[in-house]
Structure 1
Amino acid sequence: MADVDTIFAALAKSAFRQRFHLPAKEQAYLRDKGLDIVLSHARDFVRLRLAAAQPHNDGKQTPYRGHPVFIAQHATACCCRGCLAKWHGLPQSMALTDTQIAYVVAVLERWLRQEMR
């Protein structure tokens, strides 16, 4: 796994990743539900959609809108196993460990906190 500060420095150089920000609807959802609830959703999404060695529909499993976590996943390159391998150094053909899942959620949390400011 990569160092989170290093990842965010690299993401800052990507025009594609920098275009993602929380729209008003997702900001309101985050405010209304609270960060703890949204992070519990993040853990569920990562476990259900990304943790398998070969997730169903990999590369297309993360919508671009509809939940703050989905947008955070695209902004931080945590949207599919290919991006996790390329940007975060997580092996693509092995199921994610609990430690790796916690890392992905921590990356998502950092981005969500930045968007809350």
Structure 2
Amino acid sequence: MDQLFAALAKSTFRGKFHLRAKDLHYLHTKGLPVMREHAADFVGKRLAGAVIANDGKQTPYAGHPVFVAQHATACCCRGCLQKWHGIAQGRLLSNEEQHYIVEVLMRWLNQELSRPSNQGRVRYE
């Protein structure tokens, strides 16, 4: 995962995503355990299917910290999952792949909480 995050850090597009005050407040209020539940739910409902009718458009750019994390980590659609994570399109995601995606999202959320501009916020494990 370190190599993935190093590659993501070099991407101008992926690097522009950061949590805004509203998302940080929501994350602070709900905590990382709830974000993990939301991430698992979003991955299961929006990414896990073999065929996704609106693939490439199923993840909003704002409105929830996990949505921002999905774009920042290229876990937003099956095309990005194939390009960045090597997870093939056109088939159901395995439980292991879904778990991996959630772990990627949680790592990014933890990193966002650790950003100097976000210090002083409570960190939940």
User: Aligning the two structures, in what range does the TM-score lie when normalised by the shorter sequence?
Assistant: over 0.9
Asked whether 1:41 is paired with 2:46, we answer no
Larger radius of gyration: 2
Secondary structure of the structure 2 residue equivalent to 1:66:
coil
SS at match of 1:12: helix
Instruction: Indicate if the aligned counterparts of 1:49 and 1:56 stay in contact, CA closer than 8 A.
Output: no
The answer to whether structure 1 residue 85 and structure 2 residue 70 are counterparts is: no
Q: 2:25 aligns with which of 24, 28, 31?
A: 28
Count of residue pairs the alignment pairs up: 114
Q: What's the CA shift for 1:56?
A: 2.9
Question: More displaced, 13-22 or 47-56?
Answer: 47-56
Name 2:69's counterpart in structure 1.
72
The percent of aligned pairs where both chains have the same amino acid is: 61
Letter in 2 for 1:113: N
The letter of the residue matching 2:38 is: H
For the residues of structure 2 that align with 1:90 and 1:75, how far apart are their CA atoms? Answer: 17
Deviation of the 1:93 alpha carbon: 1.1
Where in structure 2 are there 5+ consecutive unaligned residues?
Answer: 115-125
SS of residue in 2 equivalent to 1:73:
helix
- RMSD (Å) for aligned C-alpha atoms: 0.5
For 2:73 and 2:100, the matched residues in 1 are separated by: 12
> Within 2, Cα distance between the matches of 1:106 and 1:9?
16
Does 2:107 correspond to 1:110?
Answer: yes
Runs ≥4 residues deviating over 2 A = none
* Structure 1 segments unaligned to the other structure (5+ residues): none
Q: TM-score by structure 1 length?
A: 0.96
Answer whether contact 1:60 1:80 (CA < 8 A) is retained: yes
Superposed displacement of residue 63, structure 1: 0.2
Give the alignment's TM-score, normalised by structure 2: 0.90
SS at match of 1:54: coil
Q: Distance in 2 between matches of 1:55 and 1:111?
A: 25
